[in-house]
Structure 1
Amino acid sequence: MSEQIGKVGVPAGALRRWLTDTAGGLPATFWYLWAGLLINRAGAFAMLFLSLYLTAARGASESLAGVVVGAYGAGGAVGVLLGGVLADRWGRRSTLVAAHLVTAALMVALALSQHLGVIAALALLVGVTHSVPSPAFVAAIVDVVPEHRRSRAFNLQFWAFNLGMAVASLLAGLLAEASYVALFLVDAVATVATAALIAWKVPETLARRQMRASPAAGPRRPRRPGLHTALTDRHFLVFVGLTFVLAVLTMQASTIMPLAMRADGLGPSSYGAVVALGGVLIVLGQLFVPRLIDRHRKAHVLALSTALLAVGFGALAVADDLVFYLGACLVWTVGSMLAAPPNAQINADLAPPALRARYQSVFYLAFPAASFIAPTLGGFSLQRWGDGHWLLVGALGLLAAGAHLFAGPARERRVATLRGQGERAEPSLAGHS
């Protein structure tokens, strides 16, 4: 009997250790933020179908629909910068609640609007308000999660984002069959639910005294530091540039790969299978990532993850059937999974406490920029060089992997300096409490 109990106890103990390694030691505020992000992503499906809504329900041409969707993307670039400034000046909680409530009101307006000009203007505003919460979410997580726990916190954030997007994609297809208007209204309800949860359970995490006493306001910096501090931080900008390359690689899957698959005689169902495989891998496997990477230097993990993305997309140069595409997807998805926690943590480590949200906003600019560059240059490259496009993508990724190894030591020294300044500032803050 004791042997049987021991046999049963081993996997139970292993499961407890895995749960502790994956999600243990995180404060309650983080879990409320995490739940808000999951609810928000699971309900954020209206804009996924915006182009179809415009053409099928509002009679817009494909070119006009493209302009409106582009306006939404342009609003996103403005929104991340605005969100960073508001979250550092106004507060994380206030920014999150206000942005979600305004977004919900705009969604209702979109559901009821029929004039294409009004819809385009509303789409632009939704692009702004959809992006405002991103810097505030991450800054709040950094505020409340101890440094040694942040890797698992960001891993869980990435997992919740992708799980929510998977749920959103499924629900959106079902709702669109019934009513496009319902897409916007249900989206608005989910957005209000997120705002209510944050207003109810998430306290303000911005430390006002810490902001005033931040090392960012040292003798060599302006008395009122702002976005320009992030935009002139050499170590940070190198990291943002490498993140931009990572985003360009990742977006090949949603922008250029469908065109390549069509050229290989593969239809939409094949593309859907590749996308579904990536989503399933992230949802099932992302929670196991922290134990794989926690003992390794972040620069090495990012170099490996970028190299995997380079190999996965570079291999498409010789892909000609669905099985090969699925195999390549497996490689680049593992790269994306490994990159998510250290990428977010380095971004947080490089930001002075008083400028966390502003640094996040500059960091997030890499993604709308990549969403423009990837299809624009990628389409030209595919048309001109055909399968050679994927060799160029692979070469770009390998160069970025090498750059992570080269830039890593200097970046680590910069992070150590910031931590030392923060530790020296803590007694000063305590003395004023």
Structure 2
Amino acid sequence: MPRTVRLLLLARVVNRLGAFSLPFLTALICADHGASLTTAGLVTAAFGLATIPSRLAGGRLADRIGRRTTIVLGLCACAVAQTAIAASRSLGWAIAGAVLLGLAFELYEPPSQAIIGESVPPHQRVRAFSLFSAALAVGGMGAGLLAALLGRVDLRWLFVVDAASCLACALVIRLALPRDHPTGPLGAGAEAAEEAGATGGAAARVRPLRDRALLSILATGTAYALINQQTVMSLPLAFAREGRPAADAGLLFTAAAATTVLAQPLVRLPRISRLSTPTALALAHLLLAAGLVGYALLRSLPALLAAAAVWSLGDLLVMGRAYALVTDLAPAGGTGRYLAVFGTSWGVAATLAPVLGTQLLAHAGTTALWSTTAALCVLLAGLHLRVTPQVQPGGVAPRHTSERAPRAAAAQSG
């Protein structure tokens, strides 16, 4: 991997080491502010809703003011919001902190993903994004253990340590990454061409919301993100409902993170790397379903840890393939904006997951919650085989290849 990518992965490990507070936001609101499950779910949903404009702003700011600057800005704003939540003495202040956190939370993602996608050749993108997932997991292993430890003392300490990790990551990014040189499709020349009505320039081609292939990936990606966020946000509450310490969810998060790191060689196995993207994503969702069935049926901690490991195998396959696919679909100069639009799936999921999860837990129980999400995984496995674009691993989508060639020829002849 290029030096820039390796430094970015290192910074993300630092950040992830403290990024364990969000799954406990609902539990904090219930425990410290006396809120009901429904109210806590709505507060977490407000956070998720705020991440949608945050993600889109991250893609735009990355081209306007530079990727390094956008990443540092987002991390510092996250630290301020985390501190506000930890210091809140009323439900109103906690809500304000949660919304501010949502507005800052996704600024980091589009520029960092664009750096990775554009710094490696196409045939290495699946591996690069898998390593990005592994970097999160490396930090997540320590994060889960810290969550299990600090959560027993006071849930507020989770947010204090998370704020400190954001500032440390911002410092690493500021010192290690090269200086910004914004040259994306939102530069002055591209804007002038777009205002003049030009259709052949880079800005005119970067229209992610008109790309049917991207929209189909966005739909399935939103469903996956909903399942992922449901698992992360509901697990502490599900443990508490079953009479377990909510902080024990950190042990399952640690097991999942360890599996993601140790299973990295699987991504490079010929039998896996040769799979088409639809087939790989279908297989991933079947593994996710198996892990969730384990959550629904198993009760002992060792069995639940095994289920978390199975779940993480599916998660590993999804993350590497999905982001590589979006990067391959993006036209020249449009990687950041394509990844930003695709990333709004996490904001939608973060909005819906706490509301749906708390309602299912309150009215149907933990078994119904995990069984429903497992059934959705099986449905998504079938959908991927039908609607996901056929892109060979590390290759460019055939759809864009066929569309770009006539445009390039016309541009040259003009």
- Normalising by structure 2, we get a TM-score of 0.78
Matches within 5 A, 1:134-213: 134-175=109-150, 183-203=158-178, 204=180, 206-208=182-184
Root mean square deviation of aligned Cα: 4.2
| Distance in 2 of aligned mates of 1:29 and 1:37 | 12
| Distance in 1 of aligned mates of 2:186 and 2:250 | 48
How far does residue 231 in structure 1 lie from its aligned partner after superposition?
2.1
Structure 2 equivalent of residue 44 of structure 1: 19
Conserved? CA contact 1:88–1:356, under 8 Å: no
| Distance in 2 of aligned mates of 1:389 and 1:133 | 31
Question: Which amino acid in 1 is paired with 2:75?
Answer: H
Matches within 5 A, 1:372-391: 372-377=351-356, 383=363
Aligned: 1:342 with 2:342: no
Matches within 5 A, 1:17-416: 26-51=1-26, 60-63=33-36, 66-110=41-85, 114=89, 116-175=91-150, 183-203=158-178, 204=180, 206-208=182-184, 224-225=203-204, 229-254=207-232, 274-291=252-269, 293-314=272-293, 319=298, 325-377=304-356, 383=363, 392-409=372-389, 415-416=397-398
When residues 111 and 61 of structure 1 are mapped into structure 2, their CA distance, relative to the original with a 3 A threshold, is closer
Conserved? CA contact 1:43–1:168, under 8 Å: yes
How far does residue 281 in structure 1 lie from its aligned partner after superposition?
1.6
The alignment of Structure 1 onto Structure 2 pairs a total of residues equal to 400
Question: Which amino acid in 1 is paired with 2:49?
Answer: A
When residues 260 and 121 of structure 1 are mapped into structure 2, their CA distance, relative to the original with a 3 A threshold, is closer
Question: Which amino acid in 1 is paired with 2:316?
Answer: M
Cα shift readout 1:10-44 (whole Å, capped 9, x = no counterpart): xxxxxxxxxxxxxxxx1111111111111111133
How far does residue 291 in structure 1 lie from its aligned partner after superposition?
3.2
How far does residue 406 in structure 1 lie from its aligned partner after superposition?
2.2
| Distance in 1 of aligned mates of 2:276 and 2:373 | 25
Conserved? CA contact 1:319–1:325, under 8 Å: yes
- SS of the residue aligned with 2:397? helix
When residues 415 and 188 of structure 1 are mapped into structure 2, their CA distance, relative to the original with a 3 A threshold, is same
When residues 174 and 258 of structure 1 are mapped into structure 2, their CA distance, relative to the original with a 3 A threshold, is closer
Conserved? CA contact 1:264–1:320, under 8 Å: no
| Distance in 2 of aligned mates of 1:52 and 1:159 | 27
Comparing 30-39 with 323-332, greater Cα deviation is found at 323-332
When residues 316 and 37 of structure 1 are mapped into structure 2, their CA distance, relative to the original with a 3 A threshold, is closer
Question: Which amino acid in 2 is paired with 1:346?
Answer: L
How far does residue 337 in structure 1 lie from its aligned partner after superposition?
1.9
| Distance in 2 of aligned mates of 1:281 and 1:176 | 23
Conserved? CA contact 1:75–1:124, under 8 Å: yes
| Distance in 2 of aligned mates of 1:182 and 1:252 | 23
When residues 264 and 319 of structure 1 are mapped into structure 2, their CA distance, relative to the original with a 3 A threshold, is farther
- SS of the residue aligned with 2:334? helix
Structure 1 equivalent of residue 412 of structure 2: none
Cα shift readout 1:91-110 (whole Å, capped 9, x = no counterpart): 21121122223333444555
- SS of the residue aligned with 1:296? coil
| Distance in 1 of aligned mates of 2:288 and 2:67 | 33
Structure 2 spans left out of the alignment, 5+ residues:
410-414
Question: Which amino acid in 2 is paired with 1:361?
Answer: A
Comparing 72-81 with 47-56, greater Cα deviation is found at 47-56
Conserved? CA contact 1:156–1:287, under 8 Å: no
Structure 1 spans left out of the alignment, 5+ residues:
1-25, 428-433
When residues 52 and 399 of structure 1 are mapped into structure 2, their CA distance, relative to the original with a 3 A threshold, is closer
Question: Which amino acid in 2 is paired with 1:416?
Answer: P
When residues 145 and 116 of structure 1 are mapped into structure 2, their CA distance, relative to the original with a 3 A threshold, is same
How far does residue 247 in structure 1 lie from its aligned partner after superposition?
2.5
How far does residue 424 in structure 1 lie from its aligned partner after superposition?
10
Cα shift readout 1:305-329 (whole Å, capped 9, x = no counterpart): 1122234434666556666645544
| Distance in 2 of aligned mates of 1:65 and 1:259 | 11
| Distance in 2 of aligned mates of 1:60 and 1:190 | 25
When residues 408 and 288 of structure 1 are mapped into structure 2, their CA distance, relative to the original with a 3 A threshold, is same
How far does residue 241 in structure 1 lie from its aligned partner after superposition?
1.3
Comparing 244-253 with 190-199, greater Cα deviation is found at 244-253
Question: Which amino acid in 1 is paired with 2:267?
Answer: V
| Distance in 1 of aligned mates of 2:90 and 2:16 | 28
| Distance in 2 of aligned mates of 1:297 and 1:225 | 30
Question: Which amino acid in 2 is paired with 1:130?
Answer: F
Conserved? CA contact 1:175–1:183, under 8 Å: yes
How far does residue 62 in structure 1 lie from its aligned partner after superposition?
2.1
- Normalising by structure 1, we get a TM-score of 0.75
Question: Which amino acid in 1 is paired with 2:208?
Answer: A
- SS of the residue aligned with 1:33? helix
Cα shift readout 1:255-311 (whole Å, capped 9, x = no counterpart): 566777788887768866544432332232235423353233222211111122234
When residues 378 and 82 of structure 1 are mapped into structure 2, their CA distance, relative to the original with a 3 A threshold, is same
